[in-house]
Structure 1
Amino acid sequence: MPNSSDFSVVVQGPVHGKPTDEASLQLTKRCLESARAFLPGAEIILSTWKGSEVSHLDFDVLLENEDPGGTSYYDSNTSKYNNNNRQIVSTRNGVLKATRKYTMKLRSDCRLIHGGFMDYLGKYTAYNDYKVFEERVLTSVAFTKDPRRVPILYHVSDIFQVGLTTDMQLLWDIPLQPEPETTRRFPENHIIYNEAYPYEAYKMRYACEQYIWYACTAKKGIDLQLDYYTELPFSKIALSEKTLIDNFVFLELDQLGLRLPEKMDIELDNPTLYSFIQWEALYDAYCVQKNSNDFWMALQVKWNSFRYVLKNFRRRKKRLQRMKRA
C-alpha cells in the first residue's frame, strides 16, 4: 500500500466560500483541510481561477488559470452552462504540475473523510483487450451511468479520480471540447428520440464525462465517437463498457472516503448508476473469465433504451394531463 506522501492532490474548480463566510459554506477550505488530515505529507495543488480569494486557504501549490468560460446549453436560455472546458483546464494544469507517484483529482466542493481508497490501488490486475492505463484509475459510482438503465455510453464519473500520475496525465491532457457544437449539437427544436433527461431536453454531442473518455481513448486509437450523447451504435455498446472496466474501478463513496456537497446528495439514490458489486461482476466476466456475450449485452441495452423511451413518453403524457387539469 502506498504512503500518503506518495500523493499529489489536485483540488480543482472555483473557490467556494469567502474568509468571512460561516464554516459550513467554506467548502474549498474544508476540502483542502480534509486532504491535509487524511493524506499527511501529500502535495496539495489548488488549481482555480485568476482573481480568486485564497488568503484563507492551505495549499502547497497555487495555479491561477485563465477561465475559458462556459457554454450555454440552449440558444434561448443562458441560465444553465456546460462548464466542461473549465474542468478540463483546471484539472489538466493541476495533474501536469503533480510531482508524486499518484495523483488525486478532487472537486473543490467535495471532501475526504478517510483514506480507504488506497486499499484498491493496483488491486485488480486482470485485463481484457482495451487497457489504456498502466493501472486502473479509481472513481466513484456517483454519476457513472449504466447504459442498461439509461441510454448513455461510457459516462464515467469525473467527480473524484485517483491513480498513477502518468495515467491521470494521459486521461486529462486532452483538447478542450469544441464549442458550441459539442454542447449545442442540434437546434432546440430537434427531437432526440431516446432523450436521457427529458425535462432538460439537452442537445449535446457528448456529456461532459463522455467527452473526457472519448478524447482520452482517441489518443490510443479507440473509436468511441458519437453523433449525439444518447446514440447507441450497436458495435460500440459492449466496446464502451469494456474500455471502462479495463481502466477504472467504480467504488462506493464510503469505500473511497468521499463526501459530496449537499446539492449532489440526490445522486446517491440514482437508479441508473453502476454499483461496485456490479463492477466486480463485470470485471470477472470481461477480464478474468473472458466469457462475456457482447451481442446479448448490446441487445439488452437497445431493448432497455426502447423501454426507457416508452416510460418517458408516458411521463410526459401524464404531466401534460396534469397541466391541462390545472
Structure 2
Amino acid sequence: MYLNDLFSSSSPIKVKNMPHLVAVDSRKISVVIQGPLYRNLSPQRNIFACIASVRTHLPHAEVIVSTWCHEDTSTVEADQLIMSDDPGAFVDDAGNQININRMLRSTLCGIQAASRPYVMKMRADHNLTSPALAVIGQPDDANPGETCLFETPITTTTLYIRDPERLPMLFHISDLVQFGARDAMLAMWEQPLFERDALFNDKPSRNPFGNFIGYTSARMVAEQALMLGVMHRSGIDARLARPCEVGLSNLKLWDSVLRCNFRVLNHHEAGVDFPERFLTGSHVLKTLYKATDIHQLRSLDASGYRLRIARIWLNQYVLTCLRPGWWISSATIVLFSISPTFAKRVRSYWRTFRKVAHAQSYRV
C-alpha cells in the first residue's frame, strides 16, 4: 500500500535507464547502519561521518545504529541504538572470515526497530553523497513462471552483482546498501542464522577447472547464501554445490528473480561513497552487471538463453587463461596446497599492496 500512496502523490523522477522510479521523502525513511562502527578507521570513514552524511542528504530520516554489545557507542548520536550479541564468523580453509550471520543479525535487528515505512540498509564505512538510492520502483507485470519474492522491489546497486558471463557466479546479490519498503526488507533479511554445514563442503576444492574462487570448501559465498536463503523461505529450492556452479535452469531462475525483485542502480550513480578497497580492482569491477544489462534480461527467449549459457561456459572453461581472476584463484589453490602458512602471508602482502585489505582484519 505504501507504493500506491507514493506513486499517487509523487511524480516519477528520471533515473538513467531505470524508468518509473520515485523518490521517497526522508520523513518516511529509517536508515539502518549495521555492523561494526569503524570508529577509528579514518577521519572520513567511520560511524560519525556516516551519520553526518545521512543527516545531510536524508535530513528527516530516522537513524538506527545496529551493532554489537562490545562496540563503543559513546558520543554516537542516533535516534536508536540496537545492541546485539555478536554471533561470530565462519572461517574457511584459507582463513577468510565469512560474516553472513553478523550481517543477518545486525541488519534484521535494525529493520525490526524501524518505525518508518521505508528502510535503507548501509554500513558505517559507507557515506551518502546524495539521496539517489532512496527511490522505489513499481513491480513489473510478472510473466507466468516469474518469481516475485516481495510486494515491492528492493533498490540496490551493481556493486557486487556479478555478471555470470564475466564471472560465473549466480544468485550473487549486492548486500552493501539496499533500500525498500519495510515489509520487503524484512522479507529479505528475516532469516535464521546459518549453520556451518549449510555453507561448507567436507573438504576444499583443489580443482582449478572453472573455479574463480580459489582454495575453499565454501559451497557458497555470503551474498549467495543471503539470496538463496530468502528464496528458500519463499519455497524456491535452488541449490549450489560450489560458488561457481552455473546451469541453464539456475541461470534462468536467477535472471528472473533479479529482474523482478530488484531495481538496480549503477554503483557510481547511487549516491553512495563506497570504501576505496571496493573500487581499486579494475578487473573485479569489470565482472559486474551494468544496470542496463539487467533491464535487458527480459528480452531473452529460448535461443537467447542457449547462446547466453554457451558464452558463460566458454568464458568459464575455455577462455580462463584470459581472466585475471582465474589466475589469482589458481595461484591460491597451488599455494595453499603447498603451505597454508606461506599462502596466507603472500595473500596478506598482496591485499595490502593492492589496498584491498579488509578493515578490522576481517580478511587477512
Task: Using structure 1 for the length normalisation, give the TM-score.
Answer: 0.85
One of 231, 236, 260 as aligned partner of 1:222: 236
> 1:97 and 1:292, CA in 2 relative to 1: closer, same or farther beyond 3 A?
farther
Secondary structure (helix, strand or coil) at the match of 1:305 reads helix
Contact 2:149 2:261 in 1 (8 A): yes
Matched AA of 1:303: L
Partner in structure 1 of residue 108 of structure 2: 92
Q: Deviations over 1:208-233 (max 9, x none)?
A: 11111101011111222111111123
Out of 290, 293, 302, the residue aligned to residue 278 of structure 1 is 293
Instruction: String of CA shifts for 1:248-295, please: whole Å, max 9, x gaps.
Output: 122123432011112222256611100112122225x26xxx788333
Aligned-residue RMSD, C-alpha: 2.7
Q: Distance in 2 between matches of 1:154 and 1:141?
A: 13
**1:319/1:2 Cα in 2 relative to 1: closer, same or farther (>3 Å)?**
closer
Contact 1:249/1:279 (CA < 8 Å) preserved in 2?
A: no
Per-residue deviation at 1:189? 5.7
Question: Aligned partner of 2:31: which letter?
Answer: V
Counterpart contact for 2:64–2:80, Cα < 8 Å? yes
Q: Give 1:243's aligned residue.
A: 257
**Offset at 1:8?**
0.8
| Pairing partner for 1:107 from 97, 112, 123 | 123
Matched-pair contact (CA < 8 Å) for 1:139–1:249: yes
- 1:305 is the counterpart of 2:305: no
Structure 2: 5+ residue runs without aligned partners? Answer: 1-22, 336-364
SS in 2 for 1:116: coil
**1:23 paired residue number:** 43
| Maintained 8 Å contact 1:117/1:256 | yes
- Counterpart of 1:150 in structure 2 is 167
Counterpart contact for 2:209–2:317, Cα < 8 Å: no
Cα contact 2:213–2:243 (8 A) shared by 1: no
C-alpha distance in structure 1 between counterparts of 2:303 and 2:140, whole Å: 18
Quickly say closer, same or farther: Cα 1:220–1:28, change in 2 above 3 A: same
Question: Are 2:32 and 2:110, in contact at CA under 8 Å, matched by a contact in 1?
Answer: yes
Aligned partners of 1:68 and 1:174: how far apart in 2?
A: 14
Deviates more, 1:247-256 or 1:37-46: 247-256
Corresponding position: 1:136 with 2:188:
no
* Counterpart-to-counterpart distance in 1, 2:233 and 2:38: 34
Residue correspondences, number:
307
Distance 1:192 1:90 in 2: 35
Q: Does 1:187 align with 2:187?
A: no
Measured in 2, the distance between the counterparts of 1:293 and 1:195 equals 25
Secondary structure (helix, strand or coil) at the match of 2:259 reads helix
- Residue 108 of structure 1: CA displacement? 1.6
User: 1:203 is matched with which residue?
Assistant: 217
Q: Secondary structure at the match of 1:121?
A: strand
**SS of residue in 1 equivalent to 2:204:** coil
**For 1:160-209, what per-residue CA distance to the aligned partner results, in whole angstroms no more than 9, with x for missing partners?**
10011100000000121221551x424236435321134xx232111111
**2:42 equivalent to 1:42:** no
> Hey, what's the Cα distance between the residues in 1 that align with 2:264 and 2:119?
17
In 2, the alpha carbon distance for the partners of 1:141 and 1:214 equals 18
Q: Which moved more, 1:304-313 or 1:169-178?
A: 304-313
Which residue of structure 1 aligns with residue 142 of structure 2?
127
CA shift, 1:311, in A, is 4.0
Q: 1:249 to 1:307 in 2, by over 3 A?
A: farther
- Asked whether the 8 Å contact 2:158–2:174 carries over to 1, the reply is yes
Aligned partner (choices 23, 27, 31) of residue 5 of structure 1: 27
Distance 1:61 1:227 in 2: 40
Aligned letter for 2:99?
N
Quick check: 1:149–1:272 contact (8 Å CA) kept in 2?
yes
Distance verdict in 2 for CA 1:111–1:292, change over 3 Å: farther
Match of 1:177 in 2: 194
Q: Secondary structure of 2:64's partner?
A: strand
Q: Kindly provide the amino acid, as one letter, of the partner of residue 225 in structure 1.
A: R
Q: Is 2:36 aligned against 1:14?
A: yes
Contact map agreement 2:205 2:216 (CA 8 A) in 1: no
Structure 2 Cα separation of the partners of residues 252 and 27 of structure 1: 24
The 8 Å contact of residues 33 and 58 in structure 1, kept in 2 or not, is answered as no
Partners of 2:231 and 2:303 lie apart in 1 by 22
Secondary structure of the 1:158 match is coil
Q: Give distance in 2, aligned partners of 1:234 and 1:93.
A: 36
